[in-house]
Chains A and B, each alone.
Chain A
Amino acid sequence: MNPAWRHPSFGVGAVLMALVVGAALLSLVWTPHDPTVMRIMARLRPPSAEHWLGTDQFGRDIASMVLVGARNALLVGLVAVGIGLVFGVALGMLAALYRGRLLDEAVMRGLDFVFAFPAVLTAILILTWFGPGLVNAVIAIGIFNIPVFARQARGATLQVLAQDYIRAARLAGLSRMAVMLRHILPNITGLMIVQGSTQFAFAILAEASLSYLGIGTQPPNPSWGRMLNDAQTYLGTAPHLAIVPGIAIAITVLAFNLLGDGLRDLLDPRMKER
């Protein structure tokens, strides 16, 4: 067995993530029912053989909605983290390269400015301005990922830049760009993946919060956060409406946090020596 699997956090995280990704992939080809079809006369049914997790306030199949919701959550995570990774790493490496100069200061202080605002609150502001919706929500969440990655990337790049082999490469005539791509990027990738995993969990939680507030994913697209919002007035009469998406969010966030934890340990060279 690969030693990685023996790391408890990584192992549990990976299994949970496989579950979520599996659900999302499955929903592409099959769901028990059409998640958008309403059967209003069969609303608020408890779990049964036909509806494994019951039906919601419009008679939609909750199991199907949760499966499709997984797709929605993963998509949000991927795109939002993608935005953060691409722009954050680029800006961070650039700042490191021009360390101490005006460009470095401008980039990093600008990102500090973004970082100073509470992410979800500012996402609400952005969505109020540009209108509610999934695309705007993802962009808003992505923007707040940029400074996180940029800071990490700058620090890591500076570390690598101080290595002798970088000086050797430069003396050998390699351009700055080539050094960046060939030597620095591969060296900071591990760190970025760890960070990405944590940010992934944050992005999913942020989307759920925004959808809960009614300004994220819009109906009829299923979203765990909106399912929670819709469920709240039914808490006294049909609690399964809230419990199911709540568990889905908890599992997914836990999966990525555990995965991030595990990866950090596994990718840390000091851990290997033990």
Chain B
Amino acid sequence: MMKPIRRLAGPAILALGLAHLALPAAAQPRDALTLCQTLEPPILDPSGGAAAAIREVTYGNIFEGLVAYDRNGKVVPALAREWSTSVDGLVWQFRLRPARFHDGSAVTAADVKFSFERAVAPDSKNAQKWIFEPIAAIATPAPDLVEITLKSFTADFLDGLAMGDATIFSAASVGKAATEPVGTGPYRFVRWQRGDRLLLERNDNWWGPKPALKSATFRFISDPQAQVSALLAGDCDAHTNLGAHEAVAQLRADPRLAVTIGRTEGETIVAINNAKAPFSDVRVRQAMAMAVDRRLVNEGAVSGLGTPIGSHFSPNHPAYLDLTAERPVDLAKAKALLAAAGYPNGFAATLRLPPPAYARRSGEIIAAMLGQIGIRATIEPLEWPQWLERVFRNKDFDMTIVAHVEPLDVNIYARDTYYFGYQSPAVKEAYARTKTARTEPERLEAFRAIQRQITEDQVNLFLFMLPKITVARKGLTGLWPNWPVPANPLAELRWE
């Protein structure tokens, strides 16, 4: 198991790391930054894995796409200076700005074509292939002009291109993207000490305005208490998604630190294996929902800082429907439903939990709440690699708790082979409508239909939106208060 070993090894590595970093940090204190984050990315190639930690390091720093999300979730130009669409919405033209990769080569239309074709290739590990699937052809009429023709009208095509999964690579350096990434962004990769830290340095050839910070270090501290200690000790200048929600009061009291409570796009859910009995019976899932008081889970797991949700949809989005009152807590009714489904005495099941504190804490509360209607949940803690292998890939689980942090990720309910095994023609149809909708109201209505359907089918237990707790030393400005996408664009930061 990795957790204990990491705990034991942490202090030793930390001591070694500080020894040679202390000097430069002291000499030039105001253009360097140590940013701490909870999870270490497994790889650094955002087109090769779903882990949010990859984007937290690379998005807008090492790598860029044609377009990007800004801090408000709006799509803004990145490598594409401007773009236009044909009247029928099928042909997109992107005009590239003069930009260079960190190895000096120019960014051309051919790189865009290469990157998107690579992303959708059968052997690609891209986690969001849906972005590229509508593409019929990519033409490169000029080195700075990309012309993408779609198979059919796709309303969220541009939104997809703003995600980290649609990063632009060069064919020459993509092979090393996982460990020694070469991108186009304002910061270049310097060094990665696995298990501890990753060093970035300003790319002075970047196309945008010169960033204030000359260098930045990402440090990975998974233990919530160690995160708090590192902030108090000054080892971290900032933590952009603190795990220790209960320490907020303590950190707020420290005059050197500023604490901001924001929102992520992380729908925290109890994912249920819909393909497996007894969970394949909708009555069982509805009964479970009636036993779980999400307000209390929010309170106990994240100190009440999250926002309760009744479906898999973010309150930040205009199509959001508040469905939290849909299936109120009712133990008697829940037991009756279980009995009707053939489980008058409940049943035993496992609850496999990944490491984050929100999951472990919610898990204990959920197990106790389900116990009230006779569902005996055994908690099994897993480390992330085990969780990804057993739960996410092999679908070997009854229940798990995880936050889905991608924006507008309700499309996972329309997939055929997603880990929670839900199949619904109605949701697939509604999801298709979100793609073909010609007007914004039509599109929003389609999203609302999905929300209603998955709540009706109680696919999973929808708990709360994960809060984003940003703690930074006073004087550091420019951190994103919310996370429309998990990202820490360093170019926007400066010391006052």
Using a CB–CB cutoff of 8 Å, the interface residues on chain A facing chain B are: 36-38, 40-41, 43, 57-59, 124, 127-128, 131-132, 213-215, 218-220, 232-237
Contacts and interface: CB of A to CB of B under 8 A. Distances in A.
Contact of A232 (B5, B225, B367): B225
A219 B1 contact: no
Q: Is the interface of B mostly helix, strand, loop or mixed?
A: helix
B264 to A, nearest CB: 20
Given A38-B296, A236-B228, A236-B247, 18 more contacts: A38-B365, A41-B299, A57-B300, A58-B364, A124-B4, A128-B1, A132-B380, A213-B7, A218-B379, A218-B380, A219-B367, A219-B379, A220-B368, A233-B228, A233-B247, A234-B246, A236-B250, A237-B249
B213 interface: no
Contacts of A232: 225
A218 B371 CA distance: 15
B251 to A, nearest CB: 9
Contacts of B228: 233, 236
A169 B234 CA distance: 74
Closest 3 CB pairs of A and B: A236-B250, A213-B4, A128-B1
B299 A36 contact: no
A233 B4 contact: no
B246 A237 contact: yes
Given A124-B1, A215-B1, A219-B367, A233 B300 contact: no
B3 interface: yes
Contact of B299 (A40, A127, A213, A235): A40
B381 interface: yes
Interface in B85-99: none
Interface in B376-408: 378-381
Interface in B49-107: none
Contacts of A40: 296, 299-300, 365
A58 to B, nearest CB: 5
Contact of A41 (B296, B357, B364, B379): B296
Contacts of A218: 378-381
Contacts of B7: 213
Contacts of B3: 213-214
Interface residues of B, number: 28
Given A58-B300, A127-B1, A213-B7, A233 B244 contact: yes
Contacts, number: 71
B93 to A, nearest CB: 52
Interface of B: 1, 3-5, 7, 224-225, 228, 244, 246-247, 249-250, 296, 299-300, 357, 361, 363-365, 367-368, 371, 378-381
A215 B383 CA distance: 11
B309 to A, nearest CB: 18
Contacts of A38: 296, 300, 365, 368
B300 A132 contact: no
Contacts of B300: 38, 40, 43, 57-59
A59 B293 CA distance: 15
A124 to B, nearest CB: 6
A250 to B, nearest CB: 21
A42 B332 CA distance: 24
Contacts of A128: 1
A203 to B, nearest CB: 18
11 contacts: A37-B368, A38-B300, A40-B296, A43-B300, A57-B246, A58-B365, A131-B380, A215-B381, A233-B225, A234-B246, A235-B225
Contact of B364 (A127, A220, A234, A236): A220
A237 B299 contact: no
A265 B452 CA distance: 75
Nearest to A212: B4
Contact of B367 (A41, A57, A220, A233): A220
Contact of A233 (B296, B357, B378): B357
A215 B296 contact: no
